[in-house]
Amino acid sequence: MLVYRVLAVWLIMAEEWDKSIRIYLIDYGLELSCGHHFSGASVLHSSAEEMGAKLLALAPRTGSFPQNEAPEILPILSHGQYDTALAINTSCNDFISAFNTRRTAVYRDLAGWLSDRIFKEDVALLSTPLTPELVGFTDWYESIPMCQRPSVAVHFVLPIEFELAPNATWQRIFANKMHSESISRLRTLSLGRNFFACHDARLAQSLSSPGHSLDVHPVPTEILVRNPSKDFCIGVLGQARLEKGLDLAIATVKLLRQYSSYKWVIQTAPMELGDCTLHLREENIKRIAHLPANDEYRNILSTLSVMLLPYDPISYDNFRSSNMFIEAVACGIPVICSDTDFFVEELNKLACPELIFRPYTPEALAVKIRHVAAEYPKYERLFAANSHEFNLKERAKQFVTQLIRIRQTGPYNYSKSEA
C-alpha cells in the first residue's frame, strides 16, 4: 500500500512538473554574451524564475556564452542568419530564393530540436525577427499538432524595411505581405493564445493592421546602479557601425582635443578603422577595441556623464528606434542625439529638444557637447528625475506576466498603462 501511495504522489508531482511553465526564447540575434539580446534574455530569465517559470534561450551555434550561469542558453539555431542582407539580391528570383533559404533554415532548426520538446503548457517566444525568420517560425508553429501547440509570442524591435533596398518597392510589398500573413496565421493557429508586442509606439503603429493592433513593450533591460566619473565623461558605446555615426563621433573628438577636461569612452569594435583612430590613443580617451561582455559594458555605462547617439538620420528613419537611448534614459544618463525621428519624439517627451544637434556635422555635435557640459547639473537632475519613471524590474515582470496569461487564459485585453 505504501508503495502505491508513493507511486501516486510521484505521478502527481510528475504531472505538476509537466505543467510547469517553460518559456522558449528563440533569438537569432543572441550570438554573444554582450549587448541588448543577452541583457534582455538575462532579465526575462530572472523575472520568469521569480514567477515560477523557466526560461530557456535558443541561440545561434556560436558557443560564445558563459557556462553554468543563468540564463540557460542552448546554441542550436543556424549561425549567421542576419549576416547577408536581403537587399543585395537585386533580381526578384534571387531575392525570393534568399528569403526562402532563411525561412527554411528557421523551420529546420525548430522542427529538428524543439518540436519534440515543447508542449501545450509552454510558451514559444520569438524575439527580434526579420520577415524571413517570422515566416519560418510560423511554418514551424503550424506543423505542431494542435493538441501540442504552445502559446505563441513575438517581440518586434526592427521595422520590416530594416534590410530591404530603399528604392526596391517590390521588396517591401513582398515582405509586408508575408509579414502580415504570418501574424494572421499565428493568431488563427494559436486560438487566441498569443501576444504580439513592439519595442515602441511608432513601430507598433507601422506593423499594426485593421483589427490586428500590436501592443507596446520596450526591450527588457537591467537595473543599473550609477557610479558616474568625477570628470565630464562622454560615451560612444554599442556595436560600432558607420550608420551609427562612429566616423562623425571620431571627427568630433578631434575638434574638441583642446578640452582636455573631457574624458571619452569610445567603442570602435567590431569595426576596423586603421589610421583614423591614431588620435584616440590620447590619455583622456579610453578606446574599446573589443566587444565587451555584459558586465563590463554595464560597468562602463555606469560611469558616463553623457552618451552620444550620432546615428545617421537617413539610415535610421522608417520606424527604427534605439535600445541604447532607452537604456541610457532609464539609467538617468543624459543623451545628445542626431536629428532622427525617434530621438526627436522621445526628447520632446522629456522636454529637452535642445539635445538634438543639427545639422549632421562634427561641428554641430561639438557645439552641443560644449553646451551640455556648461549646463550639466541641469541635465543631470532632469534625467535622474525621469529615470524614476522607468521601473525596469516591473517592465520585465509585466512582460512575463503577459506570457503566462496567454498560456493560461488566452486573449487578455489590458490597458496601455500596464505595458
* Residue 230, all three cell numbers: 568625477
* Residue 3, all three cell numbers: 508503495
DSSP string, 293-316: -HHHHHHHHHT-SEEEE---TTTT
Q: What span, in angstroms and rounded, lies between the C-alpha atoms of 159 and 203?
A: 7
Neighbours of 251 (CB within 10 A): 17
User: Judging by beta carbons within 10 Å of its beta carbon (0-12, 13-18, 19+), is residue 74 exposed, middle or buried?
Assistant: middle
Q: What span, in angstroms and rounded, lies between the C-alpha atoms of 294 and 109?
A: 27
User: Judging by beta carbons within 10 Å of its beta carbon (0-12, 13-18, 19+), is residue 328 exposed, middle or buried?
Assistant: buried
Please state which CATH class domain 232-387 belongs to: alpha beta
Place of cell 557640459: 373
Tell me how far CA of residue 59 lies from CA of 26, 116, 295, 351, in angstroms: 7, 18, 19, 39
| pLDDT of amino acid 187 | 94
Q: What span, in angstroms and rounded, lies between the C-alpha atoms of 32 and 131?
A: 22
Phi, psi of 104, rounded to the nearest 5 degrees:
-65, -35
| pLDDT of amino acid 7 | 36
| pLDDT of amino acid 11 | 33
Query: What is the rounded (10 degree) CA torsion for 59, 60, 61, 63?
Result: -60
Q: What span, in angstroms and rounded, lies between the C-alpha atoms of 407 and 319?
A: 30
* Residue 164, all three cell numbers: 530591404
pLDDT in tens, the chain (419 residues): 433 333 333 333 333 334 578 999 999 999 888 888 888 898 899 999 999 999 999 999 986 677 666 788 999 999 988 888 888 888 999 999 999 999 999 999 999 999 999 999 999 999 999 999 999 999 999 999 999 999 999 999 988 888 888 888 999 999 999 999 999 999 999 999 999 999 888 888 888 877 778 898 887 777 677 887 789 999 999 888 888 999 999 999 999 988 888 999 999 888 876 655 556 677 888 989 888 888 888 889 999 999 999 999 988 877 788 888 988 988 899 999 999 999 999 999 999 999 999 999 999 999 999 999 999 999 999 999 888 777 777 888 889 999 999 976 554 443 333 33
21-220+393-418, what's its fold?
Answer: Rossmann fold (3.40.50)
Place of cell 521595422: 159
Q: Where are the alpha helices (DSSP H) in 305-352?
A: 323-330, 341-349
Q: Looking at the chain, which residues constitute the CATH 3.40.50.2000 domain(s)? A: 21-220+393-418, 232-387
Beta carbons of 235 and 300 less than 8 angstroms apart: yes
| pLDDT of amino acid 197 | 94
DSSP string, 225-254: -----SSEEEEE-SS--GGGTHHHHHHHHH
Is it true that the peptide bond before 270 is cis, omega within 30 degrees of 0? yes
Spell out the residues 6+ positions from residue 381 whose beta carbon is closer than 8 angstroms to its own.
Answer: none
| pLDDT of amino acid 161 | 87
